[in-house]
Structure 1
Amino acid sequence: MKARVTIMLKDGVLDPQGEAIRHALGSLGHQGVNGVRQGKIIELELDETDPETARTEVTRMCEGLLANTVIEKYSVEIG
């Protein structure tokens, strides 16, 4: 079973990398981009076959290692 975790900075947390991307896009002539937030996607290949058990386990992974829950939010897709 596959799991996909999307991790983004929480609203209100400064995103210097996103701001650098926004600035670079403007420098390359891409106008009208008013904000950029960057994040990361982690794909996991799991042995688990039960979707709810997999979601619970991946959530534990996010809380324990994959996401810094003080400044980041995450979502889990199981499929």
Structure 2
Amino acid sequence: MRRLILILPIFLAAGMCQPKIEYVPVKPEVPADLLRPVPISDRRAETYRDLAILATEHLNSAQTANAKIKAIGSVLNPQ
């Protein structure tokens, strides 16, 4: 019985000293170059060659934009 009387205050004191948990939201930092718009060519196509060059430039712009979207996704949702 004496041991119980000595141990009981320890358990009571341990139950009362719970640490306060504080959650702090963390805003991910996206690099500025990923937020810069991808330029789109304003070239005027007058020949088939110009049309092919314009299509290539638009494809490169789309691929660059998709790469930026993927990079921003990896910053916001790291896995």
TM-score of Structure 1 vs Structure 2, range by shorter chain: under 0.3
* TM-score, reference length from structure 1: 0.22
Q: Which has the higher strand share?
A: 1
Greater relative contact order (Cα < 8 A, sep 6+): 1
Q: Which has the higher helix share?
A: 2
